[in-house]
Structure 1
Amino acid sequence: MTTTGSSWAAARRAARGDAVRTGARVGFAARGVLYLLVGVLAVRIGLTGTNEQADRGGALTEVAATSFGAVLLWALGVGLAGMAVWRLSEALFGSAGPEGDGAGKRALAGARFVFYGVSAFLVLAFALGDRGSGAGSTDRQSQDITGRLLALPGGQWWVGAAAAGFLGAGLWIAGRAALRTYRKHLTWGRMSKHQRRFMDVTGIAGGVGRGLVFGAVGYFGLKAAVTFDPKESKGMDDAIRSFAQTPVGPWLLVAVAVGLVLFGVFSFGQTKWRDV
C-alpha cells in the first residue's frame, strides 16, 4: 500500500473512531442548548413583547450572564466544532447506514460541515470577547450580506438563489420531520416504546418549528431580492417575530417558539440514540 493510501486508510479509521463519535454527540448537546435557549427567548417575546433577541446572539448573551458563562461558552463552541468535524468525516468517508456513501449524502454533509464550522467559529469568537457575534447579529448580518450581494452584477439573482435555498431547506426540514425520516438515523430497534414516543413528539414538533423559521428567512430574502431592498431581509430573530404579524397573532409565534424548544430537547435525545 502506498503512503497516500495508508494515510487515507488511517484517516478513515479515525473518522470512524470513538473521538469523532463523541464529538458528534457533544455537538448534538450544544445544538440542543442553543435551540432551547432561542425557543425560550422566543416564547418570552410572544407572551410579553420583550426586546430580547431570539437568535444565536441572544442565546449566547443568556449563557454569558450565568455564573459559569465563560466555561459554558467554550463548551458550546467546542461542541459545535465536534459536530463540524463529524460532518466533515461524513463528507469525506460517508455516513452510517446503507445509503451513507452516496454523493448526495456526502454533499449534504459537506454543507452541514460549513454551517457548523461557521457556527463554532462565531461562538468561540463570542467566548473570546468578540461581541460582534452577539445579540441581534443575525438580523444585521442578514441585511449587510443582502446589501453587498445586491450591489454585485446580477445581485438580485444571487440573493434570490440564496433565499430560495433557505426556503427550500425550511420545507425540507419540516417535511422530513412530518414524515419521521429521522427514525432511520436512530437506534430505533433498541429503543423502548416511551423513548420512541419521546423522540416522535419532539422530532415532529421540533422539526416543523425549525423548518418554519428557515422558511420565513427564505421568504423575506426573496422579498428583498424582488424589491431590491436589503431592509426586507431578516435574520432568525426578526423572522421569528414576523409570525406575530400573521392573523393568528402572537400565538403562532409562541407555537413556533415551543417547536424550537422541542427541537432542542430532540437534539438532547440524539446525543443518546443517534446512530453515529
Structure 2
Amino acid sequence: MDIAQRADQAGRQANSSEWMDHAVRAGLIAYGVVHLLIGWLALQLALGDREGSPSSSGALQQLAEQPFGQVLVWLVAVGMFLLVVWRLLEAALGHQDQDGADKIRKRASSAGKAVLYGAIGVSAIRVATGSGSSGGSGSSGGKSGTDSTTAKLMDLPAGQAIVVVVGLAIIGYGVYQIAKAWTDKFAKELDPEGKSGQSGSAYLLFGKVGYVAKGIAVGIVGALFVYAGFTHEADKSGGLDQALYEVLDQPFGPVLLGAIAIGIGCFGLFCFARARHLSR
C-alpha cells in the first residue's frame, strides 16, 4: 500500500470515527449558539434597538461582552474549526454512496460549508483577540466589509456579471434551504430517536421553521448582490445584517423581521437537537 492509499484510508477512518462524532457535536453546539444570538439581535432590532449587528460577527461580539465572554468566543472558534475539519474530510473522501455528478455536487457542498464555518471561526478569533468588531451598528448595518469585497469584484473584467452570478448562487442556496424544509429533507440530520415522540416533533418543527427563516434571509442577501451587480453600486450589497435591515424597512417590517428572528433562533435550537441526536 503506497503513501496516498494509506493517507486515504486514514482519512476515511478519521471521518467515520467516534471522536469525529464528538467533534461534530461540539461544533454544532457552537453553531447553535451563534444562531441563537443572531436571532436575539435580530429580534432586538425588530423591537427598535439598532445598537447590535444581527450577523455572526455581531453575535460573537455580544457573546464576548458576557461574563467569561472571551473564553466562550474561543470555544465557539474551536467548535467551528472542528466543523471545518469534518466538512473538509467529507469534501475529500465522503459521499461514497453517490456516483458521478451527485458525488461531485455533494463534495462541493461540503467544501462550501467548510468555507462558511471557517469564516465564522476566523471572525470568532478576531473578536476574541480584540481585532474584530460587531461589524457595525445603527442604520448603516455594517456594510463596509462586504462593500469593499463587492467593489473589488466589480473592478475585475466582467466584474458586474461576476457579482450578479454570485448573487444568483446565494439566492439558489437560500431556495435550497427552503426546499429542504418543505420536503423535510433536513430530518435526515437526526437519528431515529431524535424524530420520535413529543421531543422529536418539537425538534422537527425547529428545523422546518429554522431552515425556512435561514433560506429567506440568505435569499435577501443574494438579491442585494444581484441588485448591486446590475446597478454597479457596491454599497447596495451586504451581508446578513444589511439584509435584515432591508426587511425592517419594508411595510410591516418589524413583524416580518421578528418572524425571521424567531426562525433563526429555531435553527439554533435545531443545531442543539442535531448535536444530541447526530446522524451523518
Q: TM-score scaled by structure 1?
A: 0.93
Name the counterpart of 1:80: 80
> Residues 273 and 205 (structure 1 numbering): CA distance in 2 closer, same or farther, change over 3 Å?
same
5+ unaligned residues in a row in structure 2: which ranges?
none
The answer as to whether partners of 2:60 and 2:134 remain within 8 angstroms in 1 is no
The answer as to whether partners of 1:163 and 1:217 remain within 8 angstroms in 2 is yes
Aligned pairs for 1:151-166 within 5 A: 151-166=155-170
SS in 1 for 2:50: coil
Name the counterpart of 1:15: 15
The answer as to whether partners of 2:53 and 2:142 remain within 8 angstroms in 1 is no
The answer as to whether partners of 2:189 and 2:274 remain within 8 angstroms in 1 is no
Q: Is 1:37–2:62 an aligned residue pair?
A: no
SS in 2 for 1:50: coil
Structure 2 letter corresponding to 1:66:
Q
SS in 2 for 1:261: helix
SS in 2 for 1:246: coil
**1:192 offset after TM fit, Å?**
2.5
Q: Is 1:5–2:32 an aligned residue pair?
A: no
Structure 2 letter corresponding to 1:108:
S
> Residues 63 and 132 (structure 1 numbering): CA distance in 2 closer, same or farther, change over 3 Å?
closer
Name the counterpart of 2:267: 263
Structure 1 letter corresponding to 2:122:
F
Q: What is the root-mean-square deviation in Å for CA atoms of aligned residues? A: 2.0
Q: Distance in 2 between matches of 1:199 and 1:187?
A: 11
Number of equivalenced pairs? 275
**1:230 offset after TM fit, Å?**
0.7
The answer as to whether partners of 1:182 and 1:203 remain within 8 angstroms in 2 is yes
2:198 pairs with 158, 177, 194, which one? 194
**1:44 offset after TM fit, Å?**
0.8
Structure 1 letter corresponding to 2:132:
R
Identity of aligned residues (%): 30
**1:247 offset after TM fit, Å?**
2.3
**Greater alpha carbon shift after TM alignment, 111-120 vs 60-69:** 111-120
**Greater alpha carbon shift after TM alignment, 80-89 vs 187-196:** 187-196
Q: Is 1:58–2:58 an aligned residue pair?
A: yes
Structure 2 letter corresponding to 1:128:
T
1:243 pairs with 247, 252, 263, which one? 247
> Residues 167 and 191 (structure 1 numbering): CA distance in 2 closer, same or farther, change over 3 Å?
closer
**1:191 offset after TM fit, Å?**
4.1
Name the counterpart of 1:211: 215
SS in 2 for 1:9: helix
Name the counterpart of 2:67: 67
> Residues 206 and 24 (structure 1 numbering): CA distance in 2 closer, same or farther, change over 3 Å?
same
**1:188 offset after TM fit, Å?**
2.5
**Greater alpha carbon shift after TM alignment, 17-26 vs 70-79:** 17-26
1:174 pairs with 178, 192, 197, which one? 178
Name the counterpart of 2:257: 253
The answer as to whether partners of 2:61 and 2:127 remain within 8 angstroms in 1 is no
**1:190 offset after TM fit, Å?**
6.3
Name the counterpart of 1:117: 118
**1:266 offset after TM fit, Å?**
0.8
The answer as to whether partners of 1:27 and 1:80 remain within 8 angstroms in 2 is yes
Name the counterpart of 2:46: 46
The answer as to whether partners of 1:203 and 1:262 remain within 8 angstroms in 2 is yes
**1:189 offset after TM fit, Å?**
5.7
5+ unaligned residues in a row in structure 1: which ranges?
none
**Greater alpha carbon shift after TM alignment, 147-156 vs 123-132:** 123-132
The answer as to whether partners of 1:122 and 1:133 remain within 8 angstroms in 2 is no
**1:244 offset after TM fit, Å?**
1.9
**Greater alpha carbon shift after TM alignment, 147-156 vs 75-84:** 147-156
Name the counterpart of 1:107: 108
**Greater alpha carbon shift after TM alignment, 240-249 vs 253-262:** 240-249
Name the counterpart of 2:226: 222
